[in-house]
Structure 1
């Protein structure tokens, strides 16, 4: 399917990365199980829903960075953007919500006493939004993208930094420590809207480009070099066997590029628009609740208020 049948099991499923994800998942269940007696204070119970969120996040991250989506992302730009959406818009909040609050208390306490505490400025809402969307947009400049795809070490480092930036951006939205007062109400809606706006220029550049922007998906020689990092063997063999990325794409390179930009923007808009609606609904309920409590308080206080005595009953006709 989509040319995956031409590649080995190792190339498609990345057993080493799969083993790493399984180790992380196993460590998670040890931490929230036997390990909770040592590290948790108070209620160490972790709900089934929270466990499902974490496992789902791990599965999405594996598919995007080590599974079939990752390999297809080297052959088609639309799958590359799907991989980016899974890695940075879906997996981080699921993983963050999957960890119980007592884990995050341990993490934040450790970071507060380490040299990394000097970097806490990057966790501020506006800074986090600008940094994440800036790194994402910068990466998709054609010259930067092609360079990163052709240099394995820089590629991995950039993806790790981008993931950390995504976690900092999502921190404001999911607030995994309920006792800490986070951004709420109109400010939170403004933060969501800011993220929606900041990613628009990069997606617009991709969607409305008149020609293919990335040599990785249009130049067979560059494509073969990039493929050499996820497929064992001589890149020249890929050229002789397939000729280039067009052998796998079901769309022309320019159309595939537009589909990728639209896909990324659609996923982002759907996620943030859903969150915007949820935050607005919660803010609206909170405002109505406070108004009702204020009216009830005034109503109970009025009979005993000497400045506003109750009106006498009116006599009948």
Structure 2
């Protein structure tokens, strides 16, 4: 049963969040277009990068403020798809689409990602994956989902941690790069391994673990994040909780499917990024092989010999 229209326009489309994302997209257009000359070393941004940025903004709105965000409060499967898009897909798209000269202007004289201990690859990998895994422990998940302030704060911290983790893979500014391509590939494998226990817990659980999707009262409290009004009134309309609105799968099957989709999406994205890094490595190695022999073209390992 689908009854999403009952929730109204505000719950389905989050107009204030939509305006915020339009502001972000408009700022990108302004700073990379008419106001580009204000940045030192600026250059035109390719159409591909622009499309990538606007696509990332659209996807983030869809899963954090659009209809998919509401569906994520009704089915665990949609919730896991939303988490995958928000923290595994959107950050690398943003990092790839924002030009290097804009990152330099942002960090200059304030922060150096290459030397900061907060951006050390091991720290960022552990930080993101621990935060993501802790969030999906049943008791912690239910508390965060039913507390508006905690929900907003945790999602913000998780988003920052995801950007920190992805920075060490994508690193759009060459002089801030900490890892070689080979180490980046190992780093991607490490992140995949660190996220596996959380997915396994969800996939192989023998019973539904999350009260938000199985207890109508807890669900009604959690819906306060995206549906204004008294949760008690919402519970009167939907006495069986989310099953009264959308009932596609039994709770356990929904939970397991969510875990499987999360792992599949993660593996697909990590695989695509792995291929991208390998391609960058291959291109660099090919260019070095094409250079004529000479003292100026020796690699740093060989050193300079007059």
| Fold shared, TM-score > 0.5 on shorter chain | yes
For structure 1, the residue ranges without an aligned partner over 5 or more in a row are: 299-317
Residue 69 of structure 1 corresponds to which residue in structure 2?
Answer: 68
The correspondence of residues 64-103 of structure 1 with structure 2, limited to 5 A, is 64-103=63-102
TM-score normalised per structure 1: 0.86
Higher gyration radius (CA): 1
Aligned to 2:299: none
| Structure 2 gaps, min length 5 | 295-306
Cα distance, 1:281 vs. partner? 4.2
Q: How many residues are aligned here?
A: 291
Match of 1:24 in 2: 24
- Using a 3 Å threshold, how does the CA distance of structure 1 residues 280 and 48 change in structure 2: closer, same or farther? closer
Quote the residue 1:310 is aligned against: none
Q: Deviations over 1:126-163 (max 9, x none)?
A: 11111001100011111100000111001000000000
The structure whose RCO (Cα within 8 Å, separation 6+) is larger is: 2
Normalised by the length of structure 2, the TM-score is 0.89
User: Which deviations, in whole Å up to 9, do the C-alpha atoms of 1:152-206 show, x marking residues without a partner?
Assistant: 0010000000000000111011111034444123211110100110000000000
Q: Distance in 2 between matches of 1:92 and 1:59?
A: 13
How far apart in 2 are the matches of 1:266 and 1:145?
A: 21
Q: 5 Å matches for 1:217-256?
A: 217-243=213-239, 244-247=241-244, 248-256=246-254
- Which string of whole-angstrom CA distances, capped at 9 and with x for unpartnered residues, describes residues 35-85 of structure 1? 2121x2234311111111110111011011100111111111011111101
When structure 1 is superposed on structure 2, of 267-276 and 158-167 the one drifting more is 267-276
Q: CA, structure 1 residues 110+288, in 2 after alignment: closer, same or farther (shift >3 Å)?
A: closer
Measured in 2, the distance between the counterparts of 1:50 and 1:284 equals 22
* 1:94-153 Cα shifts (integer Å, max 9, x gaps): 12222111110011215329xxx8x93221111111100110001111110000011100
Q: 1:201 aligns with which of 194, 197, 203?
A: 197
In the TM superposition, residue 290 of structure 1 has moved relative to its aligned partner by 4.4
- 2:208–2:255: 8 Å Cα contact kept in structure 1? yes
Secondary structure at the counterpart of residue 228 of structure 1: helix
C-alpha RMSD of matched pairs (Å): 2.0
- The match for 1:122 among 118, 122, 127 is 118
Which of 130, 143, 154 is the matching residue for 2:139?
Answer: 143
